[in-house]
Amino acid sequence: MQGGVIPKLYGVLYGRKHDKSPVLCLVLERFGNRLQGEFRHLDASKKAKILNKLVEAHHGGLLHLDFAERNVVEKDGDFRIIDLRHAQNHPECRWTYDFEKHIGDSTVADDDPTVRCSALMRHAEEMEFWDHGVVYLCRVIIVPKNDKLPDQSVIEQLDTSVGIGTCTNYHPNDLATLAVRYFEEMKARLDEGAKLKDLIRLRPQITYQIHKRWHEEQKIDFIPSDQWDYSGRRSLKLLTC
Ligand SMILES: [Zn+2]
C-alpha cells in the first residue's frame, strides 16, 4: 500500500527535546499538496482515482475513519491518502466495484454485489460520483438532468441566488422555475459560444433579468435587494424567452 495508496514511510525518529520531553517524528515521502476545494467539485476521473485508492486501502485492511479533502494529497494527477491516526482494522472488505471503469455512470443498484461496503458507498455518494440522473441548482433545488441545462461542474461555477425580490414571498416551485430559467439561459449562451469566465462575471445581471421577466409575467412588482439591483444598467437581452 505504501507508495501507491499512502505515501512511503522512510522511518521513525525518536528523541528528546531540550526539556527532556519525548518527541516522535515520522519521515514520510513528500507527495504533492492537499486537495483544494471539495471532492464533489472534482471531475469524474479524479473522483474515480481517489475512490479506487480508498478501495485499495480497504482491501489492505484499513478503514480510514477521517476521509476528507484535507487528507488527500495530489501530485501530477495522482493521489495519496494521508493521516491514518483514526484508522481502524477493516477485515475482508467485499467491495469489488472499479470506479475508473464506471466513469459517467448515473447510478449503481443498491443490491449490486460489487458494492458491498457501506463506508465506501457513503464516501462515493458524498463525493457525488453518481449523479442519479439529477442536477442540483443553487445547491438545494434538484431537477432531472437534461440537454438544456449545463453539467453539474459548470452549474457550480455559475451559482447564483434565486428569490431576490425583497417584497415577494416566493413559493418553492417559483424558486425552482427561476433557477431552471437562469441555468437554461446560461446553457443557451454557452452553446452560442459564450466563454464561461464571461458568464461568471455576468451572473448578477442575468439573475436580475430572469427575475424581472418572471415578475412581469406574473404581474408582481419587482423590487430586488440592493446587491442585485441592475435596473440602472443597460438591459441585457435574454436568449431564452
Ligand atoms: Zn470496505
Q: Please give the distance, rounded to the nearest whole angstrom, from the Cα atom of residue 60 to the centre of ligand 1.
A: 10
pTM assigned to the model:
0.76
Q: Please give the distance, rounded to the nearest whole angstrom, from the Cα atom of residue 119 to the centre of ligand 1.
A: 6
Place of cell 473522483: 47
**Domains of the chain with CATH codes:** 9-126 (1.10.510), 135-228 (no CATH)
pLDDT of residue 57: 96
What is the arithmetic mean of pLDDT over 132-141?
Answer: 94
Q: Please give the distance, rounded to the nearest whole angstrom, from the Cα atom of residue 50 to the centre of ligand 1.
A: 14
pLDDT digits (tens, 9 = 90+) for 21-32: 999 988 989 999
Q: Please give the distance, rounded to the nearest whole angstrom, from the Cα atom of residue 67 to the centre of ligand 1.
A: 13
Q: How far is CA 157 from the centre of its chain?
A: 11
pLDDT digits (tens, 9 = 90+) for 37-61: 899 889 899 999 999 999 999 999 9
Q: State the chain's mean pLDDT as an integer.
A: 94
Q: What is the C-alpha separation between 175 and 220, in angstroms, rounded? A: 15
Strands (E), the chain: 9-16, 22-28, 33-34, 62-63, 72-75, 78-81, 88-89, 134-137, 141-144
Q: Please give the distance, rounded to the nearest whole angstrom, from the Cα atom of residue 241 to the centre of ligand 1.
A: 50
pLDDT surpassing 80 at residue 83: yes
pLDDT of residue 41: 86
Residues with Cβ within 8 Å of 120's Cβ and at least 6 positions away in sequence, in order, are 51, 54, 55, 58, 93, 95
Q: What are the angstrom distances between the C-alpha of 236 and each of 49, 166, 233?
A: 42, 21, 9
pLDDT surpassing 80 at residue 241: no
Spatial CA neighbour of 51 closest among 62, 65, 67? 67
pLDDT surpassing 80 at residue 173: yes
Spatial CA neighbour of 124 closest among 1, 42, 60? 42
| Residues having C-beta closer than 5 Å to ion ligand 1 | 58, 93, 117
pLDDT surpassing 90 at residue 153: no
Identity of the residue numbered 44: A
Q: What are the angstrom distances between the C-alpha of 1 and each of 61, 81, 181?
A: 10, 10, 48
Place of cell 484535507: 70
Query: Do the beta carbons of residue 167 and residue 202 sit within 8 Å?
Result: no
